[in-house]
A and B are shown apart, each in its own frame.
Chain A
């Protein structure tokens, strides 16, 4: 979403225009849902929590001062909401296998497909905050500075943590033998 248009939508929302807020929701719903879903791992709960994120954003929109990107502010709400939810319950298995199947339709993709499934299983071993870090960096293409704004980590800490996560995932994938070997 264009930044000028986004600011316009925020101003109109503050004046009570729900259609403008709907435009903001449409622009960010998939990214917010992906982040929340990767953290809580349950589609139904993620859907409800993602809606909660937008309701919280609506209630506190007047406190948004345009010092950071709107998306950074919104993802921070999403990150905190989802992490809080994980503290109240045990996490289920990582349910990414279905999504992996959808992208593995290239002809030479059998081993890549298996690697993705192994990666999904390895992600399931990570703490929710680490999964969020991976999601923000690799899936949502956020800069390290934005990730720090969202998660509250310092820049060196975030970089070190991401490096360790990569290393850990790689180690876990190396340990898993492929089926066709």
Chain B
């Protein structure tokens, strides 16, 4: 007869031992915590202000360059000839209103786009650092 037929599965499962984490577990967590980039831990008010300031500065630069090199007419011309105008007239109209430099200041748009670019750049740098750290 197989004695296994008398098993108490609940009692057996309760006897399965718990595991123990390594002695240096907490130390390792704190070390990895300290190695996290500050901006990853918390994007505080200074971080947001810095990104906004950078965006505005870049917008001013772009605006100045656009004026200095007379780029705006050619950029406007490109936009008017784009597929948005010809193929998607309604969407294009909405975009045209949004991008109309008489409705919204181009500096605002440039700042907005520059801010997004800075955020993307920051994310790419953080990811690159994290990958390098994991590989190390």
- Asked if residues A34 and B26 are in contact (CB atoms below 8 Å), the reply is no
- Check if A118 sits within 8 Å of B4, measured CB to CB: yes
Measured in the bound complex, the distance between the Cα atoms of B33 and A31 in whole Å is: 20
A155 within 8 A of B: no
Residues of B within 8 A of A170 (CB): 7, 9
- Which chain A residues lie closer than 8 Å to B1 at the CB level? 181
Number of interface residues of A (CB under 8 A): 47
Cross-chain contact of A51 among B2, B5, B12, B32 (Cβ < 8 A):
B32
Q: Kindly state the separation between the CA atoms of A30 and B33 in the bound complex, as whole angstroms.
A: 19
B116 to chain A, nearest CB (A): 23
**B134: nearest chain-A partner, CB-CB:** A48
12 contacts between A and B (CB under 8 A): A25-B30, A58-B33, A96-B16, A103-B17, A116-B15, A119-B12, A138-B13, A139-B17, A173-B12, A177-B4, A178-B4, A181-B2
Binding site for A on B (CB under 8 A): 1-5, 7, 9-10, 12-22, 25-26, 28-30, 32-34, 36, 40-41
Given contacts A139-B16, A139-B18, 17 further A-B contacts (CB under 8 A): A18-B33, A25-B25, A29-B21, A30-B18, A30-B19, A32-B21, A55-B29, A99-B17, A116-B12, A119-B9, A119-B12, A119-B16, A170-B9, A174-B4, A174-B5, A177-B2, A178-B4
